[in-house]
Amino acid sequence: MRLFLAILAAAVLLATPADAGQHRPDPVAALMAAFDSHAIVAKSSPDVGTLVFDLIRDPRFPARVNDIAVECGNARLQPLLDAYIAGAQVPEISSVWRETTQPSCGFSTFYEQLFALVRQVNTTLPAERKIRVLATDPPVDWSRVHTPADLDPFLDRDASIVSVVKTQVLQRNRKALMLFGLGHLTHDGGSGAVAQLEREHPGAAYVIADHRGFTADNARLERRLGAWPALVPVKGSWLGALETTSFPLNREYPPGTRGYPGVDAYLYEGPADLLLREPLSARAVLDAGYLAELHRRAAALDAPPDSIEWPEVFFERERTSGVLLRG
């Protein structure tokens, strides 16, 4: 009997990922704890899982966070967004994410659900605890864009993000969750929004990257990540010791570089082969007036025929991509 138990224990030990025995706090709690020492927690988005929505639903969130700054939101329409988030009846709120400089924002379901969720959470909160959503994309008025030159003043998206977060969050001693593509968030001395903000406010941000698969030996490394969801610090962990080439990055680093440059933590919400792509908004796809406006914008910008500025090109890319993130 003792021999059987010993063999069984050894088998369990061998089957257990190397880091699975370490105590890991709930990722929502770990993320909120980052606000104890940082004014900003910056996370790549749209989310590949449910963590952001779980975070906002958590009753601890409004006590820690004042603002949620988002990429898909036209800063010119901040008054409309404020009214909607406060619970007012407003004209079509979708204009907030449909009138950005990024056509893909107009078909997002993530931001549509995010804004509605924050609005609902705010109905349960006293005035001083209500969460504000900040639109940070440049304040373009598309009705005045008739040539490529008309859009030129609105192409520096990071400058717009920096302006909003600096004036609405940092200068007011508030705390914000930032939801953006990771290129805007890393604090590695580049030109992204967080890197620019930290020149004036060093250490202001805690940056989180989503797991979207390792570039090599993915199955073994995912087993080492263990159970999900998990928020794993990069510095001081085995992730920080990995070759930087193990991560799917958009730029090259000197040979021998380790870890995920400019990132503090790594969010694992499941194996990359099981992650789902964000679905398109059927409401937007079926809105003939909106599609006509996108055609007008693409023509005004002299967009190449294979550009995703044209809805048909964007739809074809999405159709052939499948429903899985790595499908």
Whole-angstrom distance, CA of residue 120 vs CA of residue 266: 29
CATH number at residue 186: 3.40.50
Strand partners, 132: 67
Nearest to 315 by CA among 104, 73, 71, 101: 104
For residue 278, tell me if it sits in a domain.
Answer: no
For residue 44, tell me if it sits in a domain.
Answer: yes
For residue 230, tell me if it sits in a domain.
Answer: no
The pLDDT value given to residue 190: 79
Mean pLDDT (10-residue bins), the chain, 327 residues: 38 40 73 96 88 94 97 98 96 95 95 96 95 98 98 97 98 97 88 95 96 95 94 94 93 90 95 92 96 98 96 93 80
For residue 218, tell me if it sits in a domain.
Answer: no
The pLDDT value given to residue 48: 80
Helix 193-200 vs helix 157-168: crossing angle, to nearest 10? 40
For residue 266, tell me if it sits in a domain.
Answer: no
Q: At 209, phi and psi to the nearest 5?
A: -105, 140
**Boundaries of domain holding 121:** 21-210
The pLDDT value given to residue 22: 52
Q: How many domains does the chain have?
A: 1
Those residues whose C-beta lies under 8 Å from the C-beta of residue 221, and which sit 6 or more positions away, are 214, 242, 246
Those residues whose C-beta lies under 8 Å from the C-beta of residue 68, and which sit 6 or more positions away, are 56, 114, 118, 131, 132, 133, 134, 176, 177, 178, 179
Whole-angstrom distance, CA of residue 305 vs CA of residue 58: 45
For residue 175, tell me if it sits in a domain.
Answer: yes
pTM of the model: 0.91
The pLDDT value given to residue 6: 38
The pLDDT value given to residue 251: 84
Cis? peptide before 229, omega within 30° of 0: yes
The pLDDT value given to residue 327: 62
Structure token pair of residue 130: 């209500």
For residue 279, tell me if it sits in a domain.
Answer: no
For residue 110, tell me if it sits in a domain.
Answer: yes
